[in-house]
Amino acid sequence: MYILPTIWTISLTILSVCDIHETSAKDDPRCPSVCKCYPWPPRVHPAKMAANCSGRALKALPAHFQRHFASLDASFNDIEELSKDFFGDAKMVLSKINLSNNSIHTIDSRAFSMLPDLWIMNLTGNKIRHLHQDTFKVNTKLWYLILRGNTINFNQSTFLNAPQIGKLDLSYNNLHELGDNTFNEMPNIVYLRLHNNQFKKLQSSWFRPLRKLERLFLEHNQLTVLDVNTFIHSPKLFELSLSWNKLLLPYHTPFLRLPNLEYLHLSGCGFGNIPSHIFEFTPRVRMLWLSSNRLSTLPVDIFNYLESLIFLDACDNNLLCSCELKEVWDLCRYRHIAADVSCNVYLLEGTGEGEGEGEAQNQTATAAGAGGCFGRWDVLEEMVCNATDRPSLPAPSKDTSVEQLALYVSIGVVLLLSLCIVGSVTLYCRKYKSGWTSTVRGAHNLTYPDMMPLNIDREEAT
């Protein structure tokens, strides 16, 4: 009976205490008038505070910016330079600093020397071209450095002397290349953003120091050809994005050697096909993105090398609802691979009787879901295909599908080829031993015992 009101009173008390803390932080004489202040971490440690001075046209920190601020948001101001005294001359407890979207072009190598607790530094959207190697040398707790949207220029052998850094964002920096020693003194990077730059080629030596690298983002560059061993020095790499590069895949050899890769992003790479061996050296891939390419089919063979696959995104391609794709569909069902795929149904309207000639008339499978394309290849469930015994498909009627046409063409080619082989062998043998022809024919039948389609096709043709 008394429990409920008690809980009520207690929660009210807690709430009002928190309120007091917030108001006290806001009205705290230590809070600069241009900023908003609140306890930091929120509601836990009232002794430390966070200051939000975002968008106040500041050129420097507010006067009397006190030492008890643990977090500072000074983004969207007009700060141009971080001089030696920018953060004052006494040690501060600042651990999180957001100086993004200012106009910072110069940073003194000692600008952060009074910030021993610095943990996250956000310098997105400034005009930084050059950083002294030792800029973050004393900030031994710095974990995440964000330099997105600057114009960093690696004109020195070592970029930063900062082995403490684990996450580095150098995206949108107009970078064309790195150097062999760029990351020399940053061996603990696990997370590296290099997307939206201008890389045309990658050298494996650039990544040699990054032995702990786990996630690498290289989308939206101008990469074309990659050496199979490009990332050989980062054996722990488990996520790699190469999306939105016009990549050229090798035809007969594996693409990249990445024994522990689990997430592979290859969207928007302009692929017209996926050669079978591509994933041979990436056996652990669990999630694969192949959306927004120009694929007309997915070879079922590629899945031989993707034994760990649990998710496939192949949306936004030109996939045909073919028997080949149905094999992939069956395989995904069988192996419980969540596949986000859609395909187009092409119907050929025959003019002749039982012949495959006709005018193509497309029908795109509808039922598109908003975002993603789940369900759009379910038409394949109904499709009648018989991989082992294709000619037993219903006799070609008015509606002959493309894959049947393709089948006849390939049968024709195989027929022609085997005739050539038989012919040349026969000729060859006749040259050396007359009367061998029948033996050779027998041998041919032994060598190709499953040439059923040929015979049936011949029957049909007659």
Ligand X SMILES: *[C@@H]1O[C@H](CO)[C@@H](O)[C@H](O)[C@H]1NC(C)=O
Tokens of 430: 């006749």
Output 145 or 242, the one with its CB closest to ligand X.
145
Output 92 or 226, the one with its CB closest to ligand X.
92
How many other C-beta atoms lie within 10 A of the C-beta of residue 419? 11
Residues within window 98-117 making contact with ligand X, judged by CB under 6 A: 98, 100-101
Which residue of this chain has its Cβ atom nearest to ligand X in the complex?
125
Residue in 120, 347, 368, 452 binding ligand X, rule: CB under 6 A: 120
What track of x and - describes contact with ligand X for positions 152 through 191 (by CB under 6 A)?
-x-xx-----------------------------------
Considering the complex, what minimum distance in angstroms separates the CB of residue 128 from ligand X?
10
Answer for the pair 152, 128: CB distance below 8 angstroms, yes or no: yes
Residues within window 82-101 making contact with ligand X, judged by CB under 6 A: 96, 98, 100-101
Going by C-alpha positions, the residue among 393, 401, 410, 386 that lies closest to residue 327 is 386
Output 23 or 106, the one with its CB closest to ligand X.
106
Output 226 or 365, the one with its CB closest to ligand X.
365
User: Contact region for ligand X (CB under 6 A) — 87-95, 123-131, 183-191, 249-257?
Assistant: 123-131
User: Contact region for ligand X (CB under 6 A) — 106-114, 143-151, 212-220, 237-245?
Assistant: 143-151
Considering the complex, what minimum distance in angstroms separates the CB of residue 151 from ligand X?
10
Output 95 or 267, the one with its CB closest to ligand X.
95
b or e along 421-456 (b: 16 or more beta carbons within 10 Å of the residue's beta carbon)? eeeebeeeeeeeeeebeeeeeeeeeeeeeebebbee
Residue in 59, 64, 91, 129 binding ligand X, rule: CB under 6 A: 129
Considering the complex, what minimum distance in angstroms separates the CB of residue 76 from ligand X?
6
Output 228 or 402, the one with its CB closest to ligand X.
402
DSSP strand pairing (215-217 vs 191-193): parallel
Residue in 41, 55, 352, 412 binding ligand X, rule: CB under 6 A: 55
Output 198 or 308, the one with its CB closest to ligand X.
198
Output 211 or 294, the one with its CB closest to ligand X.
294
User: Contact region for ligand X (CB under 6 A) — 3-11, 151-159, 233-241, 254-262?
Assistant: 151-159
Considering the complex, what minimum distance in angstroms separates the CB of residue 127 from ligand X?
10
Residues within window 299-328 making contact with ligand X, judged by CB under 6 A: none
Output 360 or 427, the one with its CB closest to ligand X.
360
Residue in 31, 52, 230, 320 binding ligand X, rule: CB under 6 A: 52
Kindly state the number of chain residues that form the binding site for ligand X, as judged by CB under 6 A: 28
Distance CA 356, CA 402 (A): 9
Output 124 or 293, the one with its CB closest to ligand X.
124
Under rule CB under 6 A, residue 130 binds ligand X: yes
Considering the complex, what minimum distance in angstroms separates the CB of residue 422 from ligand X?
27
Considering the complex, what minimum distance in angstroms separates the CB of residue 144 from ligand X?
6
Output 148 or 277, the one with its CB closest to ligand X.
148
Residue in 51, 94, 114, 149 binding ligand X, rule: CB under 6 A: 149
Residue in 40, 75, 113, 342 binding ligand X, rule: CB under 6 A: 75
Considering the complex, what minimum distance in angstroms separates the CB of residue 323 from ligand X?
12
Return the HEC string of the chain. CCHHHHHHHHHHHHHHHHHHHHHHHHCCCCCCCCCEEEECCCCCCCCCEEEECCCCCCCCCCCCCCCCEEEEECCCCCCCEECCCCCCCCCCCCCEEECCCCCCCEECCCCCCCCCCCCEEECCCCCCCCCCCCCCCCCCCCCEEECCCCCCCCCCCCCCCCCCCCEEECCCCCCCCCCCCCCCCCCCCCEEECCCCCCCCCCHHHHCCCCCCCEEECCCCCCCCCCCCCCCCCCCCCEEECCCCCCCCCCCCCCCCCCCCCEEECCCCCCCCCCCCCCCCCCCCCEEECCCCCCCCCCHHHHHHCCCCCEEECCCCCCECCHHHHHHHHHHHHHCCEEECCCEEEEEEECCCCCCCEEEEEEECCCCCCCCCCCCCCHHHHCCCCCCCHHHCCCCCCEEEHHHHHHHHHHHHHHHHHHHHHHHHHHHHHHHCCCCHHHHHHHHHHHCCCCHHHHHHHHHHC
Under rule CB under 6 A, residue 389 binds ligand X: yes
Answer for the pair 305, 284: CB distance below 8 angstroms, yes or no: no
Give bridge partners of residue 313 from the DSSP assignment. 289, 340
> Site residues (CB under 6 A) for ligand X?
52, 54-55, 73, 75-76, 96, 98, 100-101, 120, 122, 124-125, 129-130, 146, 148-149, 153, 155-156, 362, 384, 386, 388-389, 392
